[in-house]
Each structure stands twice: as C-alpha cells, then as structure tokens.
Amino acid sequence: MKKLLVLGAGTAGTMIVNKLKRRLDKDEWEITVVDRDDIHPYQPGYLFLPFGTYSPDQITRPRHETLSDGVNFVIGEVDRIDGDANKVSLIDGQTLDYDYLVIASGTTPRPDQTPGMLGPEWRRSIFDFFTLDGAEALAKALQTFDHGRLVVHITEMPIKCPVAPLEFTFLADAWLRERGLRDRVEMVYVTPLPGAFTKPIASEHLGSMLDERKVAVEPDFMIERIDVENKTLVSYDERVVPFDLLVTIPLNMGADFVARSGLGDELNYVPADKHTMQSNKFPNIFAVGDASDIPASKAGSVAHFSVEVFVDNFCQLIDGKAMTGSFDGHANCFIESGNGKGLLIDFNYDTEPLPGKFPLPLVGPMALLKETRGNHLGKLAFRWIYWNIMLPGRPLPVTTHMSMVGKTADKTPAK
C-alpha cells in the first residue's frame, strides 16, 4: 500500500485529498491528512465579521465534514519532517510514514514578530482580522469607535489575500458613512509597497479609489516597531504614524515545523518550483497553496488553480511519466469596495490585472477592474461555491490557466 500524506486540511489540502480520493486506486493508496484542529474556516469571511455581514457559525465547519469518505484524518501538531527517512513526527509522539508528502500548512499572522504589536494595546486599540478571534474583537471595537484616527496597516509582503487590507479600508469607509461618522474619522492606509497594490495598473486604479474616499496613503513604510505608549507606528526611516484605532496585518509566516525540518526560507515558506510546486530539496515532497515560496498571491484562487495542476501532475508522476502541467500563477480576486459594489481582478505571473470582462468576452457577466453590483454579489455567492463545489473538488467553469480573452490591455479601467 502506497501512502500519500498531506499536512494541512485547509483549502489546498482539502481539495487535494478530495480530488485524489476519486482518482487513486483505493486498494493501492492510503490517503491521510493532518491538521491541528477540526475547525475549517472560510477565511474570506473574516473580512465581513467586523461589519456584521456574517456570523462566526456561517464561516466555519468541522474539517472532517469537508473530507471525502475513506480519507484518514489525524488531529495533531506536526513537530518535524524527516525528508531522508520519509517520516513525519507529531508533537504527541506519533510517527507517520509516507511515499509522497504534500505540505499545505498555509501561512499565519505573527504579531509577535513586530516589537510592540503584542502588548497591552493588543485587541484594545490594535487589531487584526485575519483570525476568527481578531475579527470578532474588531467587530466589538468598531461598535464604540465614533471619532479619531483609523489606520489600516500592512507589516510586510507577502500576506494572505493581498487585497484584503484594501477591502477592509473601503468597507470601513462605507460603514462609517452609513452611520454619519466619516467626517469625524481620519483614515490612513500604511503600506510597505510604493502604491496601493503590487501591479501598476491595478495600483493606480485602487489608489484613485482611496483618493476619492479621502483615505491618505503612507507608502514605502517599513515598520520597525509600535510605540505603544504614544500609539504610533515607527518606521526604520523614522517616520511616525499616530493612530487611535489600528487595524494591522501582522507579518505572515509559514509553519514553524517547516523551519524545524530544514525545508523553509527565512519566512518558513517551502522553496518549490513555481510551475509544479515540487520541493527544491526532495522530489517526493510538494508544497501547495500558501505554504510555498512561489511568487503568486497567497489567495484561495491560487490554491484552487495550482491544485488543479498538481493533481494532474501527481497522477502522471506516480504512473512513471513526466509531469506536463505548468502552473502560471493564475489568480483572480473579488475586491469589496463598499456600498454594495466590488471589483474583480484576474492576473498571473506574467500579466497584471487588466480591464475587460470575465470569464466570457463582451458577455462577462463579471467586469474586470470596475466597481459593479454584480462583482459584490459574486463575492457573497462564492461562500456557497467554496463549501459545495470548490472544497469537494468538483469542477468549476473557470479555466485553470489565465486567458487574455476578454481583456483590454490598451485601455485604462472604466470609472
């Protein structure tokens, strides 16, 4: 019996085991997935919790309910991987053997890595929303915040869902306006990037949206520490940004067991081939989703598209064939912009987000880089798609590789 071991039952890990359970011979393969708990969060829902759109029970399900019958589910914390011996040790002393290993352990906010972030003001005036606890605490704080300086801050890239801080900013602006409080709140967007986003066309468009909403942008801000006593962000070049309410995206890092196993870079991400997700160190180890160092967005769509490539490649590999699939870095993301509207961006390693229609030219129905009601509804509808189609590994009517069909590279986004 051959053994496939997957570390992480998040988006990528769950899709992999569900897809491969249908494709691998059950008499020849044993599939096991390991995670530290039995709670699977719909992470895009964290963004909406502070504004009351979703409740916690709407964005969490037991992990075991999302896994196909016949997949072994082990609850436990990974201690380390022994790539030479093909073994994984858990903190509780269990040892799991494998023939092939997939690391799908994701990325995690690490507020402990920035001096002053974790301290007396944590979850009092300093909040995150990339965790369930953080989003719930922020929801309570917003209920009593009626004036002052609201700062949205990114510590360093890469982060999980790079558009989420922008979405929070847009939603907070709309939320404050609805309550007649916007004129009493100064909003500042602090980023280590030179602009609002990583890609020029999208950055210009999203930056203009911040301008329209009277949100000041503090670019190229590399934080050194948080001065808790004075409630300020302090950069390495000694710039100071004061705040009354700080919504921060802490440094994101991969799992600590990756570092203990000697398989990670300085942020605990696994160096891997950006087209096949195969480990640079061991040919029978793959890193999929947010766990790898590939230069793609750490977003659910990347997990989805890369898993499609991985599964086909894996089936070729175990049949003794060359892996022919090549992931192109394809990502598409809905961006909530407030007031019941949203944008959609679609890009990959080589092509930045462009205006146009998606997925069909002229028809759409989704507009690219344009605020529409349809994009907002698409974002909300994706929760159902996630639980019922994407996680179970069923096919979606979207191409795995990015297409230029319907995009207009020579035009600026419509207002």
Across 47-74, average pLDDT: 95
- What are the pLDDT digits (tens) for 302-337? 999 999 999 999 999 999 999 999 999 999 999 999
All domains of the chain in start order, with CATH: 2-107+254-318 (3.50.50.60), 110-251 (3.50.50.60), 330-415 (no CATH)
> Average pLDDT of the chain?
94
- The pLDDT value given to residue 201: 76
- What are the pLDDT digits (tens) for 235-267? 999 999 999 999 999 999 999 999 999 999 999
Q: Measured between alpha carbons, how far apart are the two ends of the chain, in Å?
A: 58
Distance CA 79, CA 94 (A): 10
Residue-by-residue DSSP string for 343-411? EEEEE-SS-----EEEEETTTEEEEETS-BHHHHHHHHHHHHHIIIIITTT---SS-SS---TTB-TTS
Q: What percent of the chain has pLDDT over 70?
A: 97
Grade residue 405 by pLDDT with cuts at 50, 70 and 90: confident
Across 392-403, average pLDDT: 88
The better pLDDT of the pair 197, 111 is held by 111
Across 219-243, average pLDDT: 97
Grade residue 402 by pLDDT with cuts at 50, 70 and 90: confident
Grade residue 207 by pLDDT with cuts at 50, 70 and 90: confident
> Are the C-beta atoms of residues 64 and 39 closer than 8 Å to each other?
no
